[in-house]
Structure 1
Amino acid sequence: MPPANRLVPLARSALTPLAAPRLATCTCRFPTPSTSRAFSLSSSAQSHDNPLGLPRNDAPPTMPRMQRGLPKKRKIPGVKKVVVVSSGKGGVGKSSVSVNLALALSGLPAAADGARLRVGILDLDIFGPSLPKLMGLEGMGEPMLTSDNRLTPLRAHGLPCMSMGFLLPNSPTSDGTNNADTPVVWRGMMVMKAVQQLLFDVDWRAGSGHDLDVLVIDTPPGTGDVALSLGQLVDVDGSVIVTTPQDVAIIDTRKGVAMFRKIGIPITGAVLNMSHFLCPGSTTHHYIFGPPTSFRQTCSDLSLPILAEIPIEPTLSSCGDQGSPLVMMSSPFIARDSSHAPSEHDHKLPEAGKRGANGLDETSEDQRQDGARAAFERLAARVWNKL
């Protein structure tokens, strides 16, 4: 043990704060004249007003505020209707529901002349964006900037898309190569400002010159900064709450519903994902994660419309991994009609399978996929009809 006269200097040395680490920054160039974006991977006072590093010729814009200091809700430029997809618990398939809902909405007629809805999708998950993977946009480059320094969405499957994942620089590794594992290490203030920039600094009219009929916003799970900022800044037209049958997910769903109602986000209804599984050769529903009893009771208690009960379909996951969502697969069984009337039994297959040796209906893999796609298309029709 050191002598007593050395203990005080040693203690002081141990309590001395470490030198602040140098902040990692990356300058990303865009193929437009005089436009560059300086993106900071870490929190810094200089970047709180502009975490996405968008070029500015003057002071950053401020949000219009009400008398009590809260920002006024406003419309997103170039967007007619905003639909938020949310969940209280992570891992319930919310992002998969978001992209398939957006694609199903884009197949609906916008008017009597048969023109389809113009739909976009925004991924607001700052720390774990999924949209680049699900829409096949990984490695497709970064968004260009418009003449007024707004982000131009990337396009996939006919939909304009924007995500934090498009804006992250690749981190150089020790061997000189790049990787896509760049983390975002930000505090709350930068997260909220980044959300504001993704909401209001994206040109959704770019390319087509037309306003979007619907923007689907995929939010991170929970009731944190992103959901709060969204509810305070944007005039939302509807929201879809996604959950799975387990009680642990239902508990957090109730919290999310309470938050949305408190901050004034209208709730269109709830979706039960992974509701059941249909084995090959059978039409019996197998409740892998439990029966839908708790979900239906919760919806009744909270006066939530049930929008869809989506079955477990392995192809849903594999299609997402390949960047081609399930709804993109053609189906001869699905009638693409937005006038489909809701029914408590509409999560069943579109039509019965063939008779097996035991005299019971059998379900083929194609029919299971058709059933999942039909659920998304009915979900889209109901959401649109409620906007």
Structure 2
Amino acid sequence: MLRSHSWRRSIFTASLPKSHENPLGLPSNNTRIPPQVPRRGPITGGLPSKRRIPNVKHVVLVSSCKGGVGKSTFATNLAVSLSLLPQRLRVGILDLDIFGPSIPTLMGLKGVEEPDLTPDGALIPITNHGIPTMSMSYLLPPSPSTPRTDSEPPTNEDTPVVWRGLMVQKAVQQLLFQTDWSAGVSQGASSGLDVLVVDLPPGTGDIPLSVGQLVDVDSTIIITTPDILSLSDVRRGVAMFRKLDIPLTGLVINNAYFICPNCTERHYLFGANPNDEENMFAKDVQAMRMGVVGELPLVMNVSRGGENGVPYALSARCSAKDTEPGNVWQAAMKNIAVRIWGEIRHKANN
């Protein structure tokens, strides 16, 4: 089972060599043989072949390659929307944002107890809203430095994960392959999940690389906001997924436009109308050879639902009457879920 470790690093020396070019004063080593480029082929010690996650039929990755674009919010709502399709799919969420997990907050699971273990030592997912989840946040101890009143015990909300790459990769492998998703499903427990939505961290670092090299992926959704700066990071992420031969379903534009409560007109606040071929944003999207799976409007209650731990795809469905922007958002999210599941089934049948 994963545990938090305290690491002590002493990288600064008391006195730095005056003529040393390294500002940290690390000792030089001129005798070490430079690392060689690894050979390709079935050599001992190489990367293991890609495999399926136990008790999971299909894996959908959600990536943004850039922080702050609503990736985790989209991932939770996508999982809920998939579970609400007529096929009544069994859907789970795996939060692989090791350094900044958001899924527990978005799913109303802040401060839950540490997950139980199966007799084999596998992690048992924690379920809310009918969606089993697993996150690094569940495994962190409370932070004693968190300011709390006498009546409030310390929580792990501010507990940092201070790990090097090797520890992160080990944690990712444990979360991927040592979580028993059949134990977290109330219906048909023996069959596990139909779909596991994996929330990846921003960037193109160790975690998405490890997932791409280790897991058989069925679909990848890239999230962006309608601006050139976000799209510049998305391009790098798309290039990484293509290099790893990971299937890309398409692009979802979050906060794509705003619908005034008093009208039904779409206002593209950032000026990035993907339907306008003369628009620079639209041209960049076309240059990436990525289809747009859906556009989600800017709706205030989406973020409010996340803060309250109730995904908007679920809360709006239970509401008797929603606003026009909310209805548009709901329809767009449902269409995205339908398209993803349709592509997964098409790929499975072929």
- C-alpha RMSD over aligned residues: 2.3
- The answer on 1:86 being equivalent to 2:63 is yes
Moved more, 364-373 or 155-164: 364-373
| 8 Å Cα contact 1:43/1:190 also seen in 2 | no
Q: Hey, what does 1:311 align to over in structure 2?
A: 297
Q: Hey, what does 2:5 align to over in structure 1?
A: 40
For residues 67-106 of structure 1, what are the structure 2 equivalents within 5 Å?
67-68=42-43, 69-106=46-83
| 8 Å Cα contact 1:205/1:212 also seen in 2 | yes
For residues 144 and 332 of structure 1, what CA distance do their matches in structure 2 show?
31
Helix, strand or coil at the partner of 1:209? helix
For residues 154 and 81 of structure 2, what CA distance do their matches in structure 1 show?
35
Task: Give the number of equivalent residue pairs.
Answer: 298
User: What one-letter code is carried by the residue in structure 1 that aligns with 2:181?
Assistant: W
For residues 123 and 282 of structure 2, what CA distance do their matches in structure 1 show?
41
Shift of the alpha carbon at 1:211? 2.0
Helix, strand or coil at the partner of 2:323? helix
Q: Hey, what does 2:311 align to over in structure 1?
A: 325
- The answer on 1:296 being equivalent to 2:282 is yes
Superposed CA deviations along residues 193-215 of structure 1, whole A, max 9, x for unmatched, are 11111000000000423221100
For residues 316 and 128 of structure 2, what CA distance do their matches in structure 1 show?
17
The one of the two structures with greater contact order (alpha-carbon pairs below 8 A, sep at least 6) is 2
| 8 Å Cα contact 1:272/1:295 also seen in 2 | no
| 8 Å Cα contact 1:84/1:218 also seen in 2 | yes
Shift of the alpha carbon at 1:279? 1.4
Change (3 A) 1:42 1:332: closer
Shift of the alpha carbon at 1:142? 1.4
User: What one-letter code is carried by the residue in structure 1 that aligns with 2:211?
Assistant: L
For residues 330 and 377 of structure 1, what CA distance do their matches in structure 2 show?
12
Q: Hey, what does 2:241 align to over in structure 1?
A: 260
For residues 271 and 182 of structure 1, what CA distance do their matches in structure 2 show?
32
Q: Hey, what does 1:380 align to over in structure 2?
A: 337
Change (3 A) 1:330 1:287: closer
Q: Hey, what does 1:250 align to over in structure 2?
A: 231
- The answer on 1:269 being equivalent to 2:250 is yes
Superposed CA deviations along residues 266-305 of structure 1, whole A, max 9, x for unmatched, are 1011100010001121222222223234443333222212
User: What one-letter code is carried by the residue in structure 2 that aligns with 1:146?
Assistant: T
Shift of the alpha carbon at 1:308? 0.4
Helix, strand or coil at the partner of 1:311? coil
**Identity over the aligned pairs, expressed in percent?**
50
Moved more, 289-298 or 272-281: 289-298
| 8 Å Cα contact 1:245/1:294 also seen in 2 | no
Change (3 A) 1:157 1:253: same
Superposed CA deviations along residues 159-186 of structure 1, whole A, max 9, x for unmatched, are 1100111111102238885133100000
User: Which of 199, 202, 215 is the equivalent residue of 2:176?
Assistant: 199
| 8 Å Cα contact 1:269/1:305 also seen in 2 | yes
Superposed CA deviations along residues 323-365 of structure 1, whole A, max 9, x for unmatched, are 001000244999xxxxxxxxxxxxxxxxxxxxxxxxxxxxx96
Q: Hey, what does 1:181 align to over in structure 2?
A: 158
Q: Hey, what does 1:134 align to over in structure 2?
A: 106
For residues 241 and 101 of structure 2, what CA distance do their matches in structure 1 show?
22
For residues 96 and 317 of structure 2, what CA distance do their matches in structure 1 show?
31
Change (3 A) 1:190 1:322: same
Moved more, 208-217 or 364-373: 364-373
Change (3 A) 1:185 1:251: same
For residues 220 and 308 of structure 2, what CA distance do their matches in structure 1 show?
27
Q: Mark the structure with the bigger radius of gyration.
A: 1
TM-score w.r.t. the length of structure 1 is 0.73
Q: Hey, what does 1:236 align to over in structure 2?
A: 217
Helix, strand or coil at the partner of 1:256? helix
Helix, strand or coil at the partner of 2:256? coil
Gaps of 5+ in 2: 10-39, 274-278, 345-350
Change (3 A) 1:331 1:134: closer
Change (3 A) 1:144 1:200: same
| 8 Å Cα contact 1:280/1:365 also seen in 2 | no
| 8 Å Cα contact 2:316/2:326 also seen in 1 | no
For residues 280 and 338 of structure 2, what CA distance do their matches in structure 1 show?
25
Helix, strand or coil at the partner of 1:39? coil
Superposed CA deviations along residues 84-108 of structure 1, whole A, max 9, x for unmatched, are 0001211110001100001000011
| 8 Å Cα contact 2:261/2:324 also seen in 1 | no
Gaps of 5+ in 1: 1-35, 45-64, 111-115, 335-363
Helix, strand or coil at the partner of 1:74? coil
Shift of the alpha carbon at 1:39? 3.0
